Structure 1
Amino acid sequence: MLLLVPADVLRPRRVDEHFAVEARAARGVGLDVAVVDHDALARAGDADRAVAAVPADGGEAVYRGWMLSSDRYAAFAEALHRRGVRLRTAAAQFRRAHELPGWYAALAALTPASVWTVGTARTEFTGAEVRTWWVDGACHLVGPHPDTPDQFPPESLDLTGLAPLVAGLGLSFVTVDLAMRSDGVWRVIELGDGQVSDRPATTAPEELMTALRA
């Protein structure tokens, strides 16, 4: 499997510093690493230029990088396909994980009632969020949220009710963030595509790469 990460803006042959530790960890577990030009993809909309440094016929790939819109990701996937590289997460899967309407119905029983509108909403949630990492429908990592990297989840966190619902989405690589309600019930706050979900500093990159390799 090939890991795709953003290139450094000033030194385009090198990995962006933010993702350098994950790139090293990927190589450490036997994965190949290639860089993509995030600015060319996200700002200029030139997907073919963005993937010019990706080896042709590289097989299956996973992206770990900065945020992309669903449309830009679809162009990214098409440009890679032309080079003989297939993203493990297809464009339709990315949109389903990345945008709330794609996953809300499947997890509605475990997440607060939501509407698509403009504005803010108040909650009774208490404590820090938890970020869980799922590969092919199975949870491989449970840890803190990137915003609160030193606040680890309790060992009592039970994902048995969530697991079949996430598996039912049929998504390759996602994160699910949870928070405890004031009555002690864990609720889903957000599901996102794992390729663009930030890794908290206290979660070792080797753990994430090992999960992906599995």
Structure 2
Amino acid sequence: MDLLFPCDYDDLTTPDPDFAVEVRAARAAGFVCHFFDFNALRAGEPYRLPQGEGPLLYRGWMLSDTEYVGFYTRLVARGWEPITPPAAYDEAHYLPLAYPNLIGETPRTKWILGRDEAEAWALYAAEFRTKDAILKDWVKSAKYRWREACFLPAGTERERFAEIFANFLTERSTLFEKGVVLREFHPFRVLHKDLRGMPLHEEYRLFFWDGALLLLPQLTLLPGPEEQLPRWTALAQRFGTRFLSLDVARDLAGDWWVVETGDGQVAGLPGSIPPDAFYRALRLVGG
């Protein structure tokens, strides 16, 4: 299996600086690494993909469903066997598509297609008004503006909802994905809050390959999510993607919940997973 990374903006033969450490670790683990112009793909401009054969795993920036279909199709045309087909990518990447696999394991979630504020308000008023909730799109929130563009305290009034919603759309801008998601806020264990009031939870990212844990992250507190490994493995095996990320957090009662899932190709490495260890583990399972 070879790897494909975004290239540097000015040089198609070197990695995007944000992935340079990962590329060094991947090569040290024995992977052959290729590069392509992600910025051209994102801009809808012509871009070149390497010719090759055999299995290929992408590691890079997130793609929308339509971008990924085109990307996947072009890789196949260039001779590759991409690891993750489009339907499997979408299921892991978009929360409303992942949610049927997570009911009872993640906070209650409702959604709409599109960005209509009146429709989003109607959903909030009907389903969440008596509960604290958070606002996001089908992939990401604007949690770095926690009070202004993400968190909806119980009983939020129409005018305030409209302000938070407008801030959220401004922050997500062209990265807004597909529709609006509302989630019941769950009181996870807070390690600390940043200057903007955003809570930083006891949360870990787990990677699974073919339904098995790839490696255990470095833990902040013990015991960690490894004590629930059979549970996480069973959840990972519900998904169609071979390479899944599963973010889990501990609540105030000590119970673990799934925060979100993602396709492993576009899930960033947290500080708890050293790149060298990650790519050595990936080499063992991916060849």
TM range (shorter): 0.7 to 0.9
Residue 22 of structure 2 is aligned to residue 22 of structure 1 = yes
- Per-residue deviation at 1:50? 4.1
Match of 1:159 in 2: 229
Q: Is residue 207–residue 244 contact of structure 2 (8 Å, CA) maintained in 1? A: yes
Q: Aligned equivalents of 2:271 and 2:53: distance in 1?
A: 29
Q: Aligned equivalents of 1:130 and 1:88: distance in 2?
A: 24
Matched residue pairs, number?
203
Match of 2:261 among 191, 196, 200: 191
Match of 1:134 in 2: 208
Normalising to structure 2: TM-score of the pair?
A: 0.66
Q: Aligned equivalents of 1:171 and 1:44: distance in 2?
A: 26
- Per-residue deviation at 1:13? 1.6
Match of 2:251 in 1: 181
Residue 102 of structure 2 is aligned to residue 32 of structure 1 = no
- Per-residue deviation at 1:164? 1.2
Change over 3 Å in CA distance of 1:178–1:153 after alignment to 2: farther
User: Which residue identity does 1:125 align to in structure 2?
Assistant: F
Normalising to structure 1: TM-score of the pair?
A: 0.87
Structure 1 residues 115-124 or 27-36, which shifts more? 115-124
Q: Is residue 65–residue 195 contact of structure 1 (8 Å, CA) maintained in 2? A: yes
The residue matched to 2:237 in structure 1 has which SS?
helix
Q: Is residue 134–residue 140 contact of structure 1 (8 Å, CA) maintained in 2? A: yes
The residue matched to 1:188 in structure 2 has which SS?
strand
Percent identity between matched residues is 34
Change over 3 Å in CA distance of 1:116–1:89 after alignment to 2: same
Change over 3 Å in CA distance of 1:202–1:177 after alignment to 2: closer
**Larger radius of gyration between Structure 1 and Structure 2:** 2
- Per-residue deviation at 1:211? 2.5
The residue matched to 1:7 in structure 2 has which SS?
strand
Residue 149 of structure 2 is aligned to residue 75 of structure 1 = no
- Per-residue deviation at 1:45? 5.3
Structure 1: gaps of 5 or more residues: 145-150
Q: Is residue 107–residue 186 contact of structure 2 (8 Å, CA) maintained in 1? A: no
Residue 75 of structure 2 is aligned to residue 85 of structure 1 = no
Structure 2: gaps of 5 or more residues: 113-119, 121-134, 136-150, 152-183, 191-201
Q: Aligned equivalents of 1:153 and 1:88: distance in 2?
A: 34
